[in-house]
Amino acid sequence: MADERLPNRVLFPILGTLMNLCMGNLYAWSVFRIPLQKLYGWSAFEATVPFALSIAFFSVGLIVAGRIQDKIGPRMVAMVGGILVGIGFLLSGPMGGTLTGLYIAFGVIAGLGLGAAYVTPLAVTIKWWPDKRGLMTGIVVMGFGAGAIIGGIGGPLLIANVGVSTTFVIFGLLFGGVITFCGALLKNPPPGYKPAGWSPPAPAPGAKVTRADFTVGEMVGTLPFWLLWTEYLISAGVGLIVISQASPIGQEVAGLTPVVAGGALTMLAVFNGLGRPGFGWISDAIGRKNALALIFAMHLVSLLFILPNATTFATYALGVCLVGFAFGGTLALMPAFTSDFFGTKNLGINYGAVFTAYGVAGGVLSLFAIQVRVAAGDWKTAFWYLVIACVVGLALTFITKAPAAREAEAKA
């Protein structure tokens, strides 16, 4: 197939960004959490579980959808994901009066849909843009980080005027419709596709050439996979904990009012979104490993020096925005790392396996942080746990490298 007959590849990051803007409202859960607590008398822990479940089933859906889309293509998988997201939000309206109903609707159904709809535009964009993987991955997932702005601004307005249940329904119709429509337009490039004027970097004569495409079984048998998985777990854990508890932390640590703390959450969402293309560009310029080390350094600066000592809105916003920018960068780097290390042929299922670290971070670490806060009586103790984890993550970046060579030496 001639290049001129192919669709303009710019279309696919645009579609992916629109889909992620809708899916990113998962991060605006705190908009619903407090009204639900007041309406039904639930505890903070009970009202956080739907968010944690959604993150966990997000990773499950991504694994399943990744395997399927590697076999049948992205279009149908993305459309099913959009439909499930819509149904999950829609059912959260009438079923949201009980914890079990909300766990099933928002946690399980919407979470599975998010996983299916997230992996497809990501894999498609990486395949169409092998020359700018880091940057284009960052642009696509930027939408997910910035999506919380929609829910953070529109959610409270809708809840104040039509109530929590109707807001869930409106979000379901809007987000499910947009994701499904955009998903119907996704398609993979033809086998062997290369952008005009671009060729893969040629290895030096005598250099070892790593195997291009790993199966998921081969991938999980390598040390680089487990190093990436652990680094993903730590950085995503820090980000998800701060995002899901940004308002309570601001009120307790910095003495902010709920409204002012909510303003910091909106700023965090902006920097979360900017961190994705930002670190995509940074990683293309200085290398993935150096970019990942910078991410852990940013987490440490915020957790050690800024957030524990925040006494004003400005210092608190600086701290959470730094974490948000680094967290967004993590979501941009890990798909690029996966394709760099293990190839693009099985990228859907392979990134699904790497992404389970994100699911564990949201489903386990975010709840663990709340328990530490309750036991210790303050958030500063929880920060120290995160500091130790980030030191470990930073150390691991220095030993992370591509899998061992599996092919013959490159010929002169």
Above pLDDT 90, what percent of the chain? 50
Highest mean pLDDT among 28-37, 201-210, 319-328: 319-328
The domains of the chain are located at 3-191+215-397
Residue 244 half-sphere exposure, CB side, CA atoms within 13 Å? 28
What is the secondary structure of 159-209 as a DSSP string?
HHHH-HHHHHHHHHHHHHHHHHHHHTT--PPPTT---TT--PPPPPTT-B-
Residue 121 has pLDDT above 90, yes or no: yes
- What pLDDT, on a 0 to 100 scale, did the predictor assign at position 56? 87
Q: What is the pTM of this model?
A: 0.78
Query: Which residues, 6 or more positions from 12, have their beta carbon under 8 angstroms from its beta carbon?
Result: 121, 124, 125, 128, 129, 186
Q: What is the mean pLDDT of residues 280-286?
A: 86
- What pLDDT, on a 0 to 100 scale, did the predictor assign at position 237? 94
Phi and psi at residue 245, to the nearest 5°: -125, 20
Query: Which residues, 6 or more positions from 306, have their beta carbon under 8 angstroms from its beta carbon?
Result: 315, 318, 319, 322
> What Å distances lie between residue 66 and 87, 121, 355, CA to CA?
21, 11, 11
- What pLDDT, on a 0 to 100 scale, did the predictor assign at position 373? 82
Query: Which residues, 6 or more positions from 384, have their beta carbon under 8 angstroms from its beta carbon?
Result: none
DSSP 364: I
Following CA atoms 310, 141, 170, 264 in sequence, which dihedral angle do they give, to the nearest 10 degrees?
A: 10
pLDDT digits (tens, 9 = 90+) for 157-212: 888 899 999 999 999 999 999 999 999 999 999 988 888 888 776 654 544 444 56
Of the listed ranges 13-22, 36-45, 221-230, 395-404, the least confidently predicted one is 36-45
Alpha-carbon distance of 246 to 265, in angstroms, equals 6
pLDDT, greater one: 263 or 332: 332
- Closest CA relative to residue 32, chosen from 148, 144, 114, 155: 155
Q: How many helices (H) and strands (E) does the chain have?
A: 17, 0
pLDDT, greater one: 8 or 264: 8
Alpha-carbon distance of 284 to 180, in angstroms, equals 31
- Closest CA relative to residue 310, chosen from 266, 389, 246: 246
Q: Hey, what CATH class is 3-191+215-397 in?
A: mainly alpha
Q: What is the mean pLDDT of residues 129-152?
A: 80
- Closest CA relative to residue 172, chosen from 90, 69, 285: 90
Provide the pLDDT confidence category of residue 405 given band limits of 50, 70 and 90.
low
